[in-house]
Structure 1
């Protein structure tokens, strides 16, 4: 009986792919997939929040281009700061998502030895029209995440 158990253990340990740690390429692939999953979940949260807001006004926003991990980290930190406004309580789940995403990208960028800037300080904004501010902020985050998903290959470069 002990011999059978020993043979089973040896065969499991010697099984191809089970005993070796993942390669750097596999780790990059997994991390990119995780980042994209968080972005997709955040987009779903945005859809839910937008149904709770009054009808969206026509707002045009622009988002920075997706250049690589360094710029993505910076841009997500800026969006995170904007979502932390006291007038964005309704957006707390999206803020938590973006903060998590920024942290994941920042950690990945550090692992990839990319130059990372310090997190930018939050700025206070005049929020005389909180609903418009909510729509504008949600649109910025949505467009940026849509663009990030579209250009996910940029998550592999600094």
Structure 2
């Protein structure tokens, strides 16, 4: 009979800690983990899509430098705009758009200056397959470099 009051008291003592909201640091860490997971998943999507091309083109693309949240957010916005047109890139565009939104949110949470989201551009689609491959190469190059510099998610 004495066990029931002890269990009740123990549950009341432990419960407030279980019900508390996550701290800002925990939230930031979780957001960074989500950003990294989405970037890794997007790279898998790109590799699968590139494997469907009948011929591998030898196109190289250099990614811009990754300096901090402000630049990452802006660069992802540019890539998001570039991914808008081809229908076959809708999943990758959704991934990049999600990444951009999470990075922008993280930057605002950390009181970083955030540039306005770049406006969409209409590109020349005279050679749609080449444009598609080049766009995938740009996104892959940027995300590879981004993952190597993921520590920049902690600075403005």
Q: TM-score, normalised by structure 1?
A: 0.89
CA RMSD of aligned residues (A): 1.8
Task: Quote the offset at 1:26 in angstroms.
Answer: 2.8
**Residue of structure 2 equivalent to 1:28:** 28
Cα offsets for 1:10-61 (capped at 9, x unmatched): 242266xx46544433332221111000100101111111122231211121
Aligned to 2:70: 70
Kept after mapping to 2: 8 A contact 1:83/1:137: yes
CA distance in 2 between counterparts of 1:153 and 1:22 reads 22
Give the structure 2 partner of residue 147 of structure 1.
Answer: 145
SS at 2:63 equivalent: coil
Where does residue 92 of structure 1 map in the other structure? 90
- Any conservation in 2 of the 1:56–1:135 contact (CA below 8 Å)? no
Determine if contact 1:83/1:92 at 8 Å carries over to the other structure.
Answer: yes
CA distance in 1, matches of 2:126, 2:57: 15
CA contact (8 A) 1:70 1:115 kept: yes
Q: Aligned partners of 1:5 and 1:55: how far apart in 2? A: 67
Residue ranges of structure 1 left out of the alignment (5+ in a row)? none
The answer for the alignment partner of 2:40 in structure 1 is: 40
**Count of aligned residue pairs for this structure pair:** 154
